[in-house]
Amino acid sequence: MNKHIRFVTLLITLTLLLASISMSCSKDKKNEIAAPDFTLQTVDGETVTLSELQGVPVMLTFWSTSCPSCRLQEPFIQEFYERWSDKALRLLTVNTGDHPLAVQQYLASDNVTFPILLDANREVARSYGLPGVPVTIFIDARGYITAYKIGPFQSSEEIEKAVDSIWILLTKIS
């Protein structure tokens, strides 16, 4: 059973990698992958719909309360958010699989101010074909997936370098 899970995870990862390579090597718009649209509630009860953010690049990070790597990267995401929240990039984090009350309790002792969307039944995570968490997906201003990172960021500087390296692609509007 364990070998089967590893094989499926490897298969999904390779599929995402090949899709990314094909996206970066092709100038043809028909090969671009549109980010699946969704509407989710924040922990504060607000509604966020991805398609309503078109025109603004989005950094979308999926995480879970039971994920040690997610906890490791949380302060780096907070630091990045504090430095970038007034810039032309929208940071959204999506908690996958946890009950909203569990998310609120998890964050009670932290000074988290970045937006947290709730995907308790993992529908959005499934629509993106995620192999697990944490995963960060960068969506350009047109609503297309530009890049992604599987695994945690090790510092806020690493996040900034990733954004800087694809900024031209993220802000592309035609």
Q: Over the stretch 21-70, which tens digit does the pLDDT of each residue have?
A: 444 433 445 678 999 999 999 998 999 999 999 999 999 999 999 999 99
Whether 129 contacts 16, CB under 8 Å? yes
Tokens of 51: 């398609």
CATH code for the domain of 35: 3.40.30.10
Domain extent for 39 = 2-170
* Interatomic CA distance for residues 82 and 74, integer angstroms: 12
Mean pLDDT score of the chain, rounded to an integer? 85
In whole angstroms, what is the distance from residue 51 CA to residue 39 CA? 9
User: Contact, 101 vs 132, CB < 8 A?
Assistant: no
Alpha-carbon span 116 to 71, nearest angstrom: 14
Give pLDDT tens digits for 89-133.
999 999 999 999 999 988 887 788 899 999 999 999 999 999 899
Domain count, the chain: 1
pLDDT band of 18, cuts 50, 70, 90 = very low
